[in-house]
Homo-oligomer: A and B are copies of this chain.
Amino acid sequence: MDKNTLKEIGELIYGVKIGTPLIYDLGLNGVKELLSGLDFNEIIADLKLADIDNTMILIAQKLTNIVDSYIAHSFIGFEGALDRLKDYLDSNNKKLYLVASMSHRGWNDSLYEEFIKVVISKVNPYGLVVGATRPEMIKKVRSDFKDKIIISPGVGVQGAEIGSAICNGADYEIIGRTIYDSLDPLNSTKEVVKKQREKVSECKTPKT
Give, as a whole number of angstroms, the nearest-CB distance from A54 to chain B: 8
CA distance A146 to B155 in the complex (A): 41
Chain B's nearest CB lies how many Å from the CB of A200? Answer: 25
| Given A104-B79, A104-B80, CB of A55 within 8 Å of CB of B19 | yes
The binding surface of chain A is classed by DSSP as: helix
**Residue of B20, B76, B158 touching A107 (CB-CB under 8 A):** B76
Chain B residues, CB < 8 A from A19: 55
In the complex, A115 has a CB within 8 A of chain B: yes
Residues of B within 8 A of A125 (CB): none
Query: Which of these, B28, B51, B75, contacts A24 with CB under 8 Å?
Result: B28
Q: How far is the CA of A177 from the CA of B105 in the complex (A)?
A: 37
A105 to B81, CA, bound (A): 8
Task: State A19–B77 Cα separation when bound (angstroms).
Answer: 20
Instruction: From B53, B54, B108, give the contact of A77 (CB < 8 A).
Output: B108
Residues of A whose CB lies within 8 Å of any CB of B are: 19-21, 23-25, 27-28, 47-48, 50-55, 58-59, 62, 73, 75-83, 102-108, 111, 115, 119, 158, 177
Q: Could you show 20 A-B contacts with beta carbons less than 8 Å apart?
A: A20-B20, A20-B55, A20-B59, A24-B62, A50-B50, A50-B73, A52-B103, A54-B177, A75-B75, A75-B108, A76-B104, A77-B107, A77-B108, A80-B105, A80-B107, A81-B104, A81-B107, A108-B115, A111-B111, A111-B115
